[in-house]
Chains A and B, each alone.
Chain A
Amino acid sequence: MSRFLIRRVFGALVILLIISAITFGLFYAIPRDPAMMSCGKNCTPDMLAQIRHNLGIDHPIPVQYWDWLKGVFVGRDYGSFGNCNAPCLGYSFANREPVLGTILDRLPTTLSLAFGAAIVFLIFGVGAGMLAAVKQGKFLDKFASSASLFGSSLQIYFVGYIAMFFFVAKLGLFAQPSYTPLSEDPVSWFSGLLLPWLTLAIIFTANYTRMTRSQLVEQLSEDYVRTARAKGLSRANVFFRFAWRGAMGPIVTVFGIDLGTLIGGAIITESTFSIQGIGRLAVDSVNKSDLPMLLGVTVLSAGAIVFFNIIVDAVYALIDPRIRLA
């Protein structure tokens, strides 16, 4: 297990390295001058050169990338712009602040959104899928299956506004979506995020219902399940200890991918509900041409996806002992 983890973490670091290099290369290949942008209106050529030097953008791109990479491990000094301490993901000229600080400020928002929604869609999706599998061919199954097919065709940028129109503006059942730190006021944290959670969950639930159902249907028709039933084990016991255990694998995989993607920025969700998380930060950075920020967000998002992939593989091995790591 530990050998597997070490190997996977090493592989993940290589992937992150490559992703950051590609991103860096592509971003800095566009004809835009960050020094010019941070210099302001009364810009003398001397000042511009000074800023260029401080930012290190007077070097060729590979050297700049090396500087950036070095900054991640030992920190970096941006001269008159200030210092950026050890895990330095870059310096945002637009915000006049190290990139990592801003990202960490936004992170709790995105984490709250992602984990809250994940809990909701996991409970509803897996629950509905289980019900559908148990009541195969009955009304409940057909209902759950059609509802999930419909749900998976919905788009957050449409359903989100419809939900806000009816539940917030017209009926006043939910609070206007917003983020309050959990430590500050748990009640408004909950009520502010409830609608985004539920809306996000509608779309994800569908996928989990379909998957849980088809996995369970397959497992329930396996011989070992029949044997367990024939042995006289209770229906519930067979269902949860045998069939469900066999069905869990692929669901865990997809859950890991979804969680990684959500943390990497539920961009459209955050834009729809005007929640200032990582995704919103990315969109704002694009609009402000804040490349260092965008690079930081990209690396962090890719990191989240890669990290959850490793977790998924490890969990997979725990669930299914037949799978050998290494």
Chain B
Amino acid sequence: MTLPTPSAAASLEVTDEIGQIPDSSANPKGSESRSPGRLAWKRFKRDRTGVISAYIVIFFFAIAILAPLIAKLYGKDPYTTYASQRPELLDAFSYPAGPNGGISSDFWFGIEPQLGRDVFTFLLYGIRTSLGIAVAATLLTTFIGVVVGVTAGYLGGKTDYLVGRIIDILLSFPSTLFFIAFMPVVYGLFVAPDENIPTSLRAISLILVLSAFGWASIARLLRGQVLGLREREYIEAAKVTGASPRRIVFKELLPNLWTPIIIQSTLMLPAFVTAEAGLAFLGVGIIDPTPDWGVMIQRGAQFYTEDITFMLFPGLSMVIFVLAFNLLGDSVRDALDPKSKR
């Protein structure tokens, strides 16, 4: 974020060269190949903010994956209403009896008001749900975006024009509004109006809706990149030597697109996490009793004036995750594309 000299881009390039000099002196042969990927990894390892952020992000993914194991060791689950077994946990107004939201050695993050569930496991499983949906949506969005963008850019002509217009239209859709408006439509496709919607279906619908509106920006970016690359000599050369379109796309174009693809997906994931939580908060995404980051915040909003502690756990953990992921995204961009300006 903070670049010390006015000529931001220039200074970055200079540091880069300096970084390479001791390398080559330490390795007198100088012939050992260094792939762009290895160079990027070297640059990334030098970026302390990036490395710390990476550890935080890995920590979140680890607890999301290991949630059942941690819950087992901890001895509680996110669904049991502990207050019904031990009424002394909640006071007469159904708020935690203990101070600070009922935090104790038994309940590390306290107890949920009213229902009396365990906040710690609820948060663990909530992170698991939210991250799962966000990761799936990111993968699907990236896939659609890459396929559409590369196809449009490579084929050009009418296909490109048509795809361009579809992207224009998608990008002028008011996205949050469409997320909430289309959730019932997608549910309606699978279940009758008066039936209960199973959680797995809600998750799948969320992934579909988030991806349906998310691919446009990455497709537009890649289309532009491919348009530029298509005119390069090496593609011409490949064409002249009779390479099949398949080979040109997979062997010549895609390797040059990995950088923007990776950068875009790292920017997308935290956005999907917050969008998914926002939908749950509005009551159209994942709903109670399924643990979810957004569901927790929505629950917390119901009694925030009485018990703010409950709200702090999902809220702060999400801020930390999103901040770390954004910082990581910046570092990844710097490492992969050192000439890019912030």
Residues of B within 8 A of A302 (CB): 172-174
Asked if A227 CB lies within 8 Å of chain B CBs, one says no
Question: Do A19 and B169 form a contact, CB below 8 Å, given A27-B185, A268-B278, A298-B181?
Answer: yes
Cβ contacts A to B, 24 pairs, < 8 Å: A15-B172, A29-B185, A30-B184, A136-B3, A155-B315, A155-B319, A157-B277, A161-B315, A162-B315, A169-B305, A210-B1, A214-B341, A214-B342, A264-B177, A265-B176, A268-B282, A279-B176, A283-B282, A289-B184, A294-B181, A298-B178, A301-B174, A305-B172, A306-B172
Asked if B301 CB lies within 8 Å of chain A CBs, one says yes
Asked if A126 CB lies within 8 Å of chain B CBs, one says no
Asked if B82 CB lies within 8 Å of chain A CBs, one says no
Residues of B within 8 A of A (CB-CB), count: 53
Q: Are B188 and A31 in contact (CB under 8 A)?
A: yes
Residues of A within 8 A of B341 (CB): 214, 218
**Interface of chain B residues 233 through 281 with chain A (CB within 8 A):** 270, 274, 277-278, 281
Partner of B177, one of A146, A169, A214, A265: A265
Question: Do A267 and B1 form a contact, CB below 8 Å, given A136-B6, A149-B326, A217-B8?
Answer: no
A41 to B281 CA separation, bound complex (whole angstroms): 33
Which of A59-67, A112-120, A137-145 is found at the contact surface with chain B? A137-145
A1 to B180 CA separation, bound complex (whole angstroms): 38
A271 to B272 CA separation, bound complex (whole angstroms): 19
Question: Do A158 and B182 form a contact, CB below 8 Å, given A30-B188, A302-B172?
Answer: no
Asked if A164 CB lies within 8 Å of chain B CBs, one says yes
Chain B residue nearest to A282 (CB atoms) is B177
Asked if B322 CB lies within 8 Å of chain A CBs, one says yes
Asked if A26 CB lies within 8 Å of chain B CBs, one says yes
A14-36 vs B, Cβ < 8 Å mask (1 yes, 0 no): 01001100110011011110000
Q: Closest CB of chain A to B260's CB: distance in Å?
A: 19
**Interface of chain B residues 6 through 65 with chain A (CB within 8 A):** 6-8
Question: Do A297 and B177 form a contact, CB below 8 Å, given A15-B169, A18-B169, A145-B1?
Answer: yes
**Interface of chain A residues 1 through 55 with chain B (CB within 8 A):** 15, 18-19, 22-23, 26-27, 29-32
Q: Are A298 and B188 in contact (CB under 8 A)?
A: no
Q: Are A264 and B174 in contact (CB under 8 A)?
A: yes
Q: Closest CB of chain A to B296's CB: distance in Å?
A: 10
Asked if B297 CB lies within 8 Å of chain A CBs, one says yes
Asked if B140 CB lies within 8 Å of chain A CBs, one says no
A302-320 vs B, Cβ < 8 Å mask (1 yes, 0 no): 1011100100000000000
A23 to B270 CA separation, bound complex (whole angstroms): 28
Residues of A within 8 A of B308 (CB): 161-162, 165
Asked if A102 CB lies within 8 Å of chain B CBs, one says no
Asked if B323 CB lies within 8 Å of chain A CBs, one says yes
A169 to B311 CA separation, bound complex (whole angstroms): 15
B286-329 vs A, Cβ < 8 Å mask (1 yes, 0 no): 00000000100100110011001001101100110011001100
Residues of B within 8 A of A287 (CB): 283
Which B residues form the contact surface with A (CB < 8 A)? 1-8, 168-169, 172-174, 176-178, 180-185, 188-189, 192-193, 270, 274, 277-278, 281-284, 294, 297, 300-301, 304-305, 308, 311-312, 314-315, 318-319, 322-323, 326-327, 341-342
Q: Closest CB of chain B to A18's CB: distance in Å?
A: 6
Question: Do A164 and B304 form a contact, CB below 8 Å, given A158-B311, A217-B6, A268-B176?
Answer: yes
Q: Closest CB of chain B to A13's CB: distance in Å?
A: 12
A277 to B294 CA separation, bound complex (whole angstroms): 22
Q: Closest CB of chain B to A162's CB: distance in Å?
A: 7
Q: Closest CB of chain B to A259's CB: distance in Å?
A: 12
Residues of B within 8 A of A158 (CB): 297, 311, 314-315, 318-319
Chain B residue nearest to A143 (CB atoms) is B2
Chain B residue nearest to A272 (CB atoms) is B301
Chain B residue nearest to A148 (CB atoms) is B1
Q: Are B1 and A282 in contact (CB under 8 A)?
A: no
Partner of B2, one of A15, A145, A152, A165: A145
Q: Closest CB of chain A to B216's CB: distance in Å?
A: 13
Question: Do A221 and B7 form a contact, CB below 8 Å, given A150-B323, A153-B322, A309-B172?
Answer: yes
Asked if A261 CB lies within 8 Å of chain B CBs, one says yes
Residues of B within 8 A of A19 (CB): 169, 172-173
A136 to B311 CA separation, bound complex (whole angstroms): 37
Partner of B304, one of A29, A155, A165: A165
Residues of A within 8 A of B304 (CB): 161, 164-165
Asked if A233 CB lies within 8 Å of chain B CBs, one says no
Q: Closest CB of chain A to B159's CB: distance in Å?
A: 18
Q: Are B185 and A30 in contact (CB under 8 A)?
A: yes
Q: Are B174 and A286 in contact (CB under 8 A)?
A: no
Asked if A173 CB lies within 8 Å of chain B CBs, one says no
Chain A residue nearest to B326 (CB atoms) is A153
Q: Are B301 and A141 in contact (CB under 8 A)?
A: no
A208-242 vs B, Cβ < 8 Å mask (1 yes, 0 no): 00100010011011000000000000000000000
Residues of B within 8 A of A210 (CB): 1, 342
Q: Are A157 and B283 in contact (CB under 8 A)?
A: no
Asked if A154 CB lies within 8 Å of chain B CBs, one says yes
Partner of B300, one of A136, A153, A161, A304: A161
A146 to B184 CA separation, bound complex (whole angstroms): 40
Chain A residue nearest to B330 (CB atoms) is A149
A273 to B320 CA separation, bound complex (whole angstroms): 24
A286 to B283 CA separation, bound complex (whole angstroms): 10
